[in-house]
Amino acid sequence: MNLKLKIWRQKDANSKGQIVDYNITDVSPDMSFLEMLDVLNESLVEKGEEPVEFDHDCREGICGTCSLQINGEPHGPDRGVTTCQLHMRKFKDGDTIYIEPFRAKAFPVIKDLIVDRSAFDRIQQAGGYVSVNTSGNTIDANAIPINKHDADEAFDAATCIGCGACVAACKNASAMLFTSAKVSQFALLPQGQVEATERVLNMVKQMDLEGFGNCTNTGACEIECPKGISLKNIARMNREYLAASLKG
């Protein structure tokens, strides 16, 4: 396939960015999207030009670092996959592809297609943990019976990889789907009850401090989430927040 790429180039956080046109030839439909960018970068380096910077690590849908807005959609046109799992067979010969960084005030661009998602780390640090007795009397987690439904729902919430696509998909740049997945993963389990009140209050407070927008229930986040994180988690977090506020 021969493709026309329109890629966001930005020198650093303080520079103004712009879309730059590139032509790429002989793209195999079996390549991943990131492999296609690797080929482009090799050709740029050969010509003595600066390669396009983009985030990636595992390249198998686990780490959550790959984060491209492809033709206006976070992680591109496929469903249930991250950018690193997107294949070029989803495009056709002659296509023009727009490639931009995730756009949100709380995710400032560092360079080209790389954004700073440390706001998510700070939300996680505000309450995304449980206290465990490590004094020598540690209880095996499997010794506490948990009903299957709750265990499954907690596991589903825990599959959030923190990629930020939910924020990029939302017209308000809301981080409710991410934060609610992190709250739900503990709210559903007995181990998560000790810090339950402070957790939801502190994580939501941090989310607001980071400058993410409000949720207006458009559901775009759920559609674009590569891990199928459900809007049910947002409803659960709202209930947890109300209960915690009444206690506080």
Q: Which is nearer to ligand SF4, 86 or 163 (CB)?
A: 163
Under the binding rule (CB under 6 A), the answer on residue 59 touching ligand FES is yes
Segment contacting ligand SF4 (CB under 6 A): 128-136, 138-146, 159-167, 210-218?
159-167
Rounded Cα distance, 151 and 142, in Å: 11
Residue 227 touches which of ligand SF4, ligand FES, none (Cβ within 5-8 Å per kind): ligand SF4
Closest CA to 126 of 210, 199, 177, 209: 199
According to CB under 6 A, which residues from 83 to 112 bind ligand FES?
83-84
Residue whose structure tokens are 């923190």: 162
> With binding defined as CB under 6 A, does residue 166 bind ligand SF4?
yes
Cβ pair 189, 240 in contact under 8 A: no
Say how far apart CA 165 and CA 222 lie, in whole Å.
9
Instruction: Give the nearest distance from C-beta 241 to ligand FES in angstroms.
Output: 29
**119 is an interface residue for ligand SF4 by CB under 6 A:** no
- Identify which of residues 158 and 244 has a Cβ nearer to ligand FES in the complex: 158
Which residues from 125-164 bind ligand FES, rule CB under 6 A? Answer: none
The DSSP bridge pattern shows strands 73-74 and 68-70 to be: antiparallel
Given ligand SF4, ligand FES, none, residue 166, with its beta carbon under 5 to 8 Å by kind, binds ligand SF4
CA–CA gap between residue 155 and residue 88 (Å, rounded): 31
Residue 217's nearest CA partner among 163, 170, 160 is: 170
- Residue 76 interacts with ligand FES (CB under 6 A)? no
Q: Which stretch binds ligand SF4 (CB under 6 A): 18-26, 177-185, 187-195, 210-218?
A: 177-185
DSSP H stretches of helix in 62-134: 118-125
Output the smallest distance, CB 78 to ligand SF4, in A: 14
Report, in Å, the least distance between residue 39 CB and ligand FES.
Answer: 17
Asked if residue 100 lies in contact with residue 107, where contact means CB atoms within 8 angstroms, the answer is no
Binding letters toward ligand SF4, positions 198-227, x by CB under 6 A: ---------------------------xxx
CB neighbours of residue 132 within 10 Å: 11
DSSP per-residue string spanning 119-176: HHHHHHHTT-------SS-PPPGGGS---HHHHHHHHHHHT-----HHHHH-TT-B-H
| Site residues, ligand SF4 (CB under 6 A) | 160-166, 177-178, 181, 225-227, 229
Site residues for ligand FES per CB under 6 A = 56-59, 61-66, 82-84
